[in-house]
Structure 1
Amino acid sequence: MNGISPGNRLIEALDEADREAVLALACPVEFAQGQIFHEPGDPVDHVYFIEHGVVSAVAVLHDGRTVETVMVGFEGVAGATAAATPQIATTRNVAQMAGGARRIEAARLRALAASRPAIRAVLAAYIAALQAELEQSAACNALHRAEQRLAKWLLRCHDRVDGAAFNLTQEYMASMLGSQRTTVNEAAQSLQKSGAITYSRGRITVLDRAALERAACECYRAADAFRPRRPAA
């Protein structure tokens, strides 16, 4: 175990009264890898305060190509903008890694936030951080090499999971990065040659996190305020 504790960081940041008010509305749920929470065009009726596991918001183009826009783990909320105003999903929200969450009806959370300023402030700060991440991602996808982007993406996964190994196929990573499978394969091989990771049969193990950080682009640390802090080994 690496010391990542269960629980949602945003809920834990609230004082006891506000935390209990949120939890009173919440239903604990588990989700499997690949589970879809929303498709583009769906009303976002529920939000999910992730406690463990990883959920990705994925843009889906008409030709079927995809690219991840936002990654959410225990630090955040899937469907967060629906906590501020009614939303129709513009991305696919899918579980990248299995886990658990606290599910709350979006309308009930909006009503609660309207009456409790501290809850409203925490949600607003998180949504602002997501916007900053989206803006940085636009530059990253356009300007940075595949190896840099893959290293960044793997670090973000590593921050949010318990342990150094996780199951991710080349096809899946390519769909998240908006790249060709051959491009991702070459990037993964380069990271493996550097000693940062091992990769075999869809299973990635982070061997040298410092090396992975050196390989990543600057975007990994750009939205630092809401980046999960991984305990030191």
Structure 2
Amino acid sequence: MPAPSELLESNLLLKALRRADRSLLEPHLELVEYGRGDTVFAAGGDISYITFPCDRTVVTLLIAMADGRSAETATIGREGAVGGIVSNGGLPASTQAVVQLGGQVLRIDSSRLQEAKRLSEPVRNLFSRYADCLLAQVLQSVACNALHPIESRCLRWLMTLQDRLGSDVLPVTQELLAAMLGVQRTYLTRILRTLQDQGLIEVGRGRITVIARAAIEKAACECHGSVRRHFDAVLGTVYGPTGRFIAFEPPPTPRPGRKGRVVPFVEDADS
């Protein structure tokens, strides 16, 4: 199904592109609908598409073990994309991408995106910066999972999801959260009860409500803040009143000037 033009505004990477660069991608983008639990790609499988979650759609990258356990390495919403972003695409997947919150996505053949990168320096700049941010999120998650207690990891995950939804009410089940954190549900239930008793969250059926975001930020480990600061520095993230990502304003791409001097790449304001 061809992608409606207005839908490009609901993914921040596509929204950040200037009109001329969007035109390199727009004819090749297609609209796909995913439900919760659907697999975007499996570990070991070829990645033939780059997928851009739109609006409230959220995709999680998981590492699954032989004993059936799994753990989250990155959570991606409307601020990003999955599938060959760090690499050049067309390579076997090292993780499984599973839809956490269903909805619409835009996707493009990986070869089409590589061609757009070849033709446009601003496209290369934007996607290289996002790839760096995604890698930073993955690496911070690895460190957090290894070094921090489950309470801190749980709060980090909830704040990450809230950033992408812009809502205090997070439509997530305890089963899903336990799978993301790689723990048993009974153990997670005790952790959530403790966090609720502290007045940080409220646990309901099929949802977790953030009660005190500022207090959660103080109680959590430094990992969530580190990733947000990296997004700010590399992509120029703009936040809404609720703390949701609403736009990217990445710095311009430097280009060589005379006698080796580097000068900023300035985009045409009318393009």
Same fold? TM cut 0.5 = yes
Say whether the 8 Å CA contact 1:197–1:205 is kept in structure 2.
yes
Ranges of 4+ aligned residues in structure 1 off by more than 6 Å? none
- Name stretches of at least 5 consecutive residues in structure 1 with no aligned partner: none
Q: CA deviation at 1:164?
A: 2.0
| Percent identity (aligned) | 35
Say whether the 8 Å CA contact 2:59–2:97 is kept in structure 1.
yes
Corresponding position: 1:45 with 2:54: no
Q: Alpha-carbon deviations, 1:165-197, whole Å to 9, x = none?
A: 233222211111112223321221122112121
Amino acid at match of 1:140: C
Q: Distance in 2 between matches of 1:159 and 1:28?
A: 24
CA gap of 1:109–1:210, structure 2 versus 1, over 3 A, is same
Say whether the 8 Å CA contact 1:80–1:123 is kept in structure 2.
no
**Count of equivalent residues:** 229
CA gap of 1:157–1:229, structure 2 versus 1, over 3 A, is farther
Residue 76 of structure 2 is matched in structure 1 by 72
Q: Distance in 2 between matches of 1:217 and 1:14?
A: 34
Q: CA deviation at 1:200?
A: 2.2
Say whether the 8 Å CA contact 2:25–2:112 is kept in structure 1.
no
Amino acid at match of 1:197: I
Corresponding position: 1:27 with 2:30: yes
Residue 219 of structure 1 is matched in structure 2 by 223
Q: CA deviation at 1:118?
A: 1.2
Partner SS for 2:45: coil
Corresponding position: 1:119 with 2:123: yes
Corresponding position: 1:54 with 2:58: yes
Q: Alpha-carbon deviations, 1:187-223, whole Å to 9, x = none?
A: 2112211212110223211122112222221000112
Say whether the 8 Å CA contact 2:83–2:89 is kept in structure 1.
no
Say whether the 8 Å CA contact 1:44–1:82 is kept in structure 2.
no
Amino acid at match of 1:71: T
Partner SS for 2:97: strand
Matches within 5 A, 1:92-171: 92-171=96-175
Which structure ranks higher in relative contact order (CA pairs < 8 Å, sequence separation ≥ 6)?
A: 1
Residue 184 of structure 1 is matched in structure 2 by 188
Amino acid at match of 1:98: G
Q: Distance in 1 between matches of 2:97 and 2:83?
A: 8
Partner SS for 1:100: strand
Q: Alpha-carbon deviations, 1:18-54, whole Å to 9, x = none?
A: 0222222111222211111111111101111122211
Amino acid at match of 1:196: L
Q: Distance in 2 between matches of 1:76 and 1:60?
A: 22
Q: Distance in 2 between matches of 1:74 and 1:33?
A: 16
Say whether the 8 Å CA contact 2:47–2:84 is kept in structure 1.
no
CA gap of 1:190–1:203, structure 2 versus 1, over 3 A, is same
C-alpha RMSD of matched pairs (Å) = 1.9
CA gap of 1:123–1:59, structure 2 versus 1, over 3 A, is same
Structure of greater Rg: 2
Which of 1, 11, 15 matches 2:14? 11
Q: CA deviation at 1:59?
A: 0.4
